[in-house]
Amino acid sequence: MPALQKPLAAKAAQQDFARGEGGNVKLTTKRGIGRGILSAVGMAAVFLVGAAPARSQGGAPAGQAVPNAKAQPGQAQGAGQATSAASGAKPLMSDQFFKNVQVLKGIPVDQFLGTMGFIAASLSVNCTECHAAGGRGMIRDYAADTPKKQKARQMMLMVKAINQTNFGGAHRVTCWTCHRSDTQPPETPSLMVQNGAVAERDPNDIEVPDEPIPSPAADQILDKYIQALGGAERLAGITSLAAKGTYAGFDTDLGKVPVEVYAKSPAQSTTIVHRSEKAENITTYDGRNGWIAMTNTILPVKPLTGGELDGAQLDAEMFFPAGIKKYLRDWRTGFPPTTVNDQLVQVVQGTTPGGTRVKLFFDAKSGLLVRVARFADTALGFNPSQVDYSDYRDLAGVKVPFHWTLTWTDGRSEFEMSEVQPNVPIDAAKFGESVLPKAATP
């Protein structure tokens, strides 16, 4: 199924989830499209991954517990309690918010949903394939056990045991290792693949070989990028950005809606997607903490933790690329040649202060950044997400991308700016908890 058809298959169920109250929404899906739908958390995590869309729009450059079975927005606590977690208290845990969590206990809700997304993307399934109990398909029934949920628990425990026994607990064997977007892992070698019918490798997957490929040093590639944008001095002169444009994603039925983006150095950013007159997605990072707020959902405010929080900081930092060399560390080059959108790119890898691995893809000719891929750790493996940049325009002597596309395990979102203003005063209330809704609607 072509990439853009998958969102169309998933969108109705995701929107129903967004409108659900008290877990009474019914989710339906045809078996024929179930595997094409991007994620088992598609409905639940479309709004964690509202984390993704809302959070990564900021991408404009300038031990424990074992994975638990697919769980269940049958809330153990109310939405008001979920909201209170954003006020500096301990993050809401999976087994506090969801019912019947047996394996993935004791991890924050955002990491739990990210793990659900990892499972779903690895098998190309959606929520209903494991959670629809007795054919009812109601969110309130998602906590009920089904044979597939029980099998999922067994498989996660199996994977954990393999990794602990053989790889010191590292995520070397995951759902994706065997399933590769299929519920039934192949058991025999493929003669078609053996004889040359191999799909093109995802550029995000390339790694530095044992003998690195000769390539420019990271400093050279990054310096070329800074010069292509306008030079370090001009970049340093931009300390804030305010932008307006449109957003299109699953949660808008792929229709374009207004979006506002605010960024302030150092490392503050907020994005507000106006899904409708009464519904907004708000993602904000205040320099230390981050949140996602989505009206008309069962989890209206979600604090970000772990890899999700790390990603929010990366997005905020990328607005001001003059500091990227200091922000990321452990730089690596030597990757095999690869292309993005049929353009030869140079790949540089770095690591955030929080430990998230990041790959930067630069156009080999222009030096401009065309993609950022990051890999957030989950209880089962690393969740990839990427932001592709295009339509660079001159702004106060600096090139800024006016269009970016976020792709993650649950889908894709498009951001297109029509107006970007540099160095405008931005009220401190635009960042952090102060921008979140005072009374979120469950």
Predicted confidence (pLDDT) per residue in 157-205, tens digit: 999 999 999 999 999 999 999 998 889 888 888 877 778 766 677 888 8
pLDDT band at 386 (very low <50, low <70, confident <90, very high): very high
Biggest alpha carbon distance in the chain? 63
Is the peptide bond between 353 and the residue preceding it cis, with omega within 30 degrees of 0? no
Identify which has the larger pLDDT, 428 or 84: 428
pLDDT class for 408, splitting at 50, 70, 90?
confident
C-alpha count within 13 angstroms, C-beta hemisphere, residue 200: 9
For residue 135, how many other CB atoms are within 10 A of its CB? 7
Mean pLDDT, range 371-397, rounded to an integer: 94
Which contacts (CB < 8 Å, 24+ apart) does range 75-83 have? Answer: 75/23, 75/99, 75/298, 78/442, 79/298, 79/299, 79/300, 79/440, 79/442, 80/442, 82/109, 82/299, 82/300, 82/301, 82/302, 83/300, 83/301, 83/440
Please report the pLDDT score of residue 168 as a whole number: 94
Cβ–Cβ contacts within 10 Å for residue 235, how many? 20
What are the residues facing 407 on neighbouring strands?
386, 412
Contact 79, 43 (CB under 8 A): no
What pLDDT score does 391 carry?
Answer: 97
- Please report which helix (H) or strand (E) contains residue 235, including its range: helix 232-236
CB 104 within 8 A of CB 94: yes
Nearest alpha carbon to residue 259 among 284, 287, 281? 281
Kindly list the domain boundaries of the chain, sorted by start residue.
5-187, 206-435
Please state, in angstroms and rounded to a whole number, the distance separating the CA atoms of residues 250 and 410: 9
Tokens of 59: 């991408």
- With contact defined as beta carbons under 8 Å apart, do 322 and 278 qualify? no
Topology of domain 206-435, CATH? outer membrane lipoprotein receptor (LolB), chain A (2.50.20)
| Structure tokens belonging to residue 140 | 């309130």
Q: What is the pLDDT of residue 47?
A: 31
Q: Which of 222, 297, 244, 231 is nearest to 49 (CA)?
A: 297
Please tell me the distance from the alpha carbon of residue 271 to that of residue 257, in angstroms, as a whole number. 13
Q: Mean pLDDT throughout 121-129? A: 86
Identify the top-confidence range among 65-69, 73-77, 338-342: 338-342
Q: What six digits make up the tokens of 431? A: 């960042």
Question: What's the 3-state SS for 39-66?
Answer: CCCHHHHCCCCCHHHHHHHHHCCCCCCC
Contacts of 321 by beta carbon, 8 Å cutoff, 6+ apart: 61, 62, 225, 226, 229, 235, 369
| 60-82 exposure pattern, b = at least 16 Cβ within 10 A, e = fewer | bbbeebbbbbbbbbbbbeebeeb
Which tens digit of pLDDT belongs to each residue from 320-343?
999 999 999 999 999 999 999 999
Q: Tell me what pLDDT residue 93 has.
A: 93
What per-residue confidence (pLDDT) applies to 106? 92
- Res. 80: pLDDT tops 70: no
The mean of the pLDDT values for the chain is 80
Residues 6 or more apart whose Cβ sits within 8 Å of residue 57: 247, 259, 261, 271, 273, 283, 315, 404, 406, 413, 415
To 5 degrees, how large is the angle CA 434–CA 439–CA 440? Answer: 95
Apex 395 CA angle, 393 and 399, nearest 5 = 50
User: Can you tell me whether residue 240 is helix, strand or coil?
Assistant: strand
Report how far residue 115's alpha carbon sits from residue 361's, in angstroms, rounded to the nearest whole number: 26
Give yes or no for residue 401 having a pLDDT over 90: yes
Residue-wise pLDDT tens digits, 90-117: 788 999 988 899 999 999 998 998 899 8
Higher pLDDT pick, 170 / 25? 170
Residue 43: its pLDDT value, please? 32
